[in-house]
């Protein structure tokens, strides 16, 4: 018989969270965000001044709290499969979510309920409005990550309130004993079966990560959520005669829209527009047409992390409510000067030297390679 803590120790490598660096707000230069670091109950991860993510693998218990707290969804929670959750939800009158340490019945098991992102939970509510969702927190008191119980309940409330904005009275129930749950044991056959399953899942996830582009997996829970919202609103108002778009208050929104004031100069003295460079989700882009360039924003791709606002040197950005379904698409926010590079005469110029980024780099390399320099 193997105690549960031995199982966790053996399988710890397969239960570690992973970071998609390009989507990390901190890695993109925002020194303010510490959401993952503050959410970790074991203090197993930290961010250095350069934005590098450090994980103490011996301290991490794979709870996934860092993943559900990340504003740009840059962290993958170990052992949490949102698609499998939705499949278990389908056609069920009652769905019980529990951690792997729980002794009771569960339709879906994850390493810790703290790793379930609120957007994934809200998607389930919207797709299956008649199902009762039960969160089994009976093992929280006897768990090293038991301090996460308030976080789990808070995430459930967020998801429920979001669903209610779309007209779904989500039924969420929390169960759990006050005393510590006894530690379970495993026989040898169950132990090695679990080890094989976890290792296979871990390898498959890493292969999938290598094949996927950052753009293709940005905000992984967002697209499913928005599809569910649109389907719900279409069913509620089949004629399209809704009372108007449901606007989410900015402090409570998972995505927001932005206004750009006249103070915006497109960061004229710099090679890149700062809000575009800071955004981990590609919500901000510069769209160029013949002779024009526009700073554009897509509310559906915006997580409301605020990195763009903090990066703006002119304080030209201000958040405002976005429609619940965020169906507006990419909207032009500001017309930018579209000067042509004085060297190649093709790409747009960025910076006071009148050069595009590629020509600036090319000329700098040529200068360095010149004899005598």
Q: Where in the chain is the domain with CATH 3.30.70.3270?
A: 250-338
Lowest mean pLDDT segment, chosen from 62-71, 91-100, 155-164, 336-345: 336-345
- Which of 335-356 are b and which e, b meaning 16 or more Cβ less than 10 Å from the residue's Cβ? ebebeebebeeeeebbbeeebb
pLDDT digit string, tens, across residues 143-160:
766 788 888 999 999 999
pLDDT digit string, tens, across residues 265-285:
888 756 678 999 999 989 999
C-alpha 158 chain-centroid distance: 15
Architecture of the domain delimited by 250-338: 2-Layer Sandwich (3.30)
Query: Does residue 351 or residue 138 have the better pLDDT?
Result: 138
Average pLDDT for residues 193-214, to the nearest whole number? 38
pTM as predicted: 0.73
User: Per-residue confidence at 207, pLDDT binned at 50, 70, 90?
Assistant: very low
Lowest mean pLDDT segment, chosen from 47-51, 121-125, 166-170, 178-182: 178-182
pLDDT at position 101 = 84
pLDDT digit string, tens, across residues 61-88:
889 999 999 988 999 998 899 988 888 8
Query: Does residue 283 or residue 141 have the better pLDDT?
Result: 283
Q: Is the pLDDT of residue 127 over 80?
A: yes
Q: How far apart are CA 43 and CA 37, in angstroms?
A: 7
pLDDT at position 139 = 84
C-alpha 2 chain-centroid distance: 35
Q: How far apart are CA 48 and CA 247, in angstroms?
A: 37
């Amino acid at each position: 018989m193997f105690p549960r803590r031995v199982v966790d120790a053996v399988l710890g490598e397969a239960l570690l969270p992973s970071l998609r660096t390009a989507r990390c707000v901190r890695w993109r230069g925002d020194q303010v965000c510490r959401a993952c670091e503050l959410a970790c109950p074991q203090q197993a991860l930290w961010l250095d001044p350069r934005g590098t993510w450090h994980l103490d693998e011996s301290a991490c218990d794979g709870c996934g709290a860092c993943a559900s707290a990340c504003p740009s969804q840059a962290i993958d929670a170990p052992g949490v499969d949102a698609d499998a959750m939705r499949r278990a939800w389908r056609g069920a009158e009652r769905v019980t979510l529990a951690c792997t340490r729980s002794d009771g019945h569960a339709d879906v098991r994850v390493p810790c309920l703290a790793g379930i992102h609120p957007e994934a939970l809200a998607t389930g509510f919207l797709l299956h409005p008649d199902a009762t969702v039960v969160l089994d927190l009976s093992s929280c008191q006897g768990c090293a990550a038991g301090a996460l119980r308030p976080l789990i309940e808070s995430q459930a409330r967020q998801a429920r309130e979001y669903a209610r904005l779309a007209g779904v009275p989500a039924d969420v129930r929390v169960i759990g004993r006050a005393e510590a749950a006894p530690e379970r044991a495993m026989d040898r056959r169950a132990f090695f079966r679990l080890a094989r399953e976890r290792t296979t899942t871990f390898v498959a996830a890493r292969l999938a990560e290598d094949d996927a582009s950052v753009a293709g997996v940005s905000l992984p829970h967002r697209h499913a959520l928005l599809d569910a919202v649109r389907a719900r609103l279409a069913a509620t108002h089949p004629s399209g005669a809704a009372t108007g778009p449901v606007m989410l208050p900015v402090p409570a929104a998972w995505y927001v829209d932005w206004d750009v004031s006249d103070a915006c100069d497109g960061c004229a003295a710099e090679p890149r527009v700062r809000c575009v460079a800071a955004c981990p989700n590609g919500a901000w882009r510069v769209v160029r047409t013949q002779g024009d360039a526009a700073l554009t924003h897509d509310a559906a791709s915006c997580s409301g992390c605020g990195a763009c606002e903090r990066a703006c040197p002119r304080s030209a950005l201000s958040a405002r409510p976005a429609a619940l379904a965020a169906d507006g698409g990419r909207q032009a926010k500001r017309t930018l000067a579209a000067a042509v590079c004085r060297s190649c005469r093709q790409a747009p110029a960025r910076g006071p030297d009148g050069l595009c980024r590629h020509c600036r780099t090319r000329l700098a390399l040529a200068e360095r390679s010149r004899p005598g320099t």
